[in-house]
Amino acid sequence: MNNLAAIILAAGESTRFGERNKLLARLNGKPVLTHTLETVSALGLGQVILVSGHDRQMVERLAVNYPVSPHHNEAYRSGMGSSIACGVHELHAATKGVFVCPGDMPYLPAAVFHAMASRFATNEQQAIIRPSFDGKPGHPVLFPAHLYSDLAQLSDDLGARAIITRNPSRLVILNWPDNTVLTDIDRQEDLPGQDPR
């Protein structure tokens, strides 16, 4: 895992969540983003980058106790693509691949990262690895180094979707046994104990 990196996306404005930043909302006693930070920082990756934007100071403060490098995306309002590009510009040249990981997926298990890294290695570190549950594509997505230049040019709100679409022969789907690779915190009712009405 030490030849891989991760970019944790934590720059969004959480417009569908309401007045609060969803990454700062409490889940099982700690902020949503902290769950992601704990899982990713314990993987033994060579580099972990946290891309901040909205609520920069509070978001970056959560990362101080973890081996994570925060980087602020000045253009975060333009969308997820600009945050991915911001993180890619900070990658060490020696990394063979990078996990692009949304910060609002607190249930992601370490096991999915390890399984993806194993599949990446068996595909000679050239494939895009994406987990899937019940036929639905999930996250994180692991991109090979030869696509860094493409990732660095992203700027809109579609994230890396266009890069995946342009490289169908390189996409390897990892079927995952549960919905942890799909479950994010998007609205208030996504938090346990919240009234969905």
All domains in the chain, ordered by first residue: 4-188 (3.90.550.10)
Structure confidence by residue, pLDDT tens digits, 52-82 = 999 999 999 999 999 999 999 999 988 899 9
Is pLDDT of 14 > 70?
Answer: no
3-state class of 146 per DSSP? helix
pTM beyond 0.85: yes
Q: Are 19 and 179 in contact (CB under 8 A)?
A: no
- What would the mean pLDDT of 125-152 be, rounded to a whole number? 97
Write down the pLDDT at residue 196.
35
Q: Cβ contacts of residue 160 below 8 Å, gap of 6+?
A: 81, 84, 100, 141, 143, 151, 154
Both structure tokens of 62: 């959560």
In terms of pLDDT, which residue wins out, 14 or 130?
130
Nearest to 25 by CA among 17, 16, 13: 17
Both structure tokens of 31: 């902020």
Query: pLDDT above 70 covers what percent of the chain?
Result: 94
Lowest mean pLDDT among 13-27, 42-56, 159-173: 13-27
Write down the pLDDT at residue 197.
26
- What would the mean pLDDT of 76-97 be, rounded to a whole number? 94
Q: Cβ contacts of residue 43 below 8 Å, gap of 6+?
A: 1, 6, 110, 113, 114
The chain-wide mean pLDDT, for the chain, equals 92
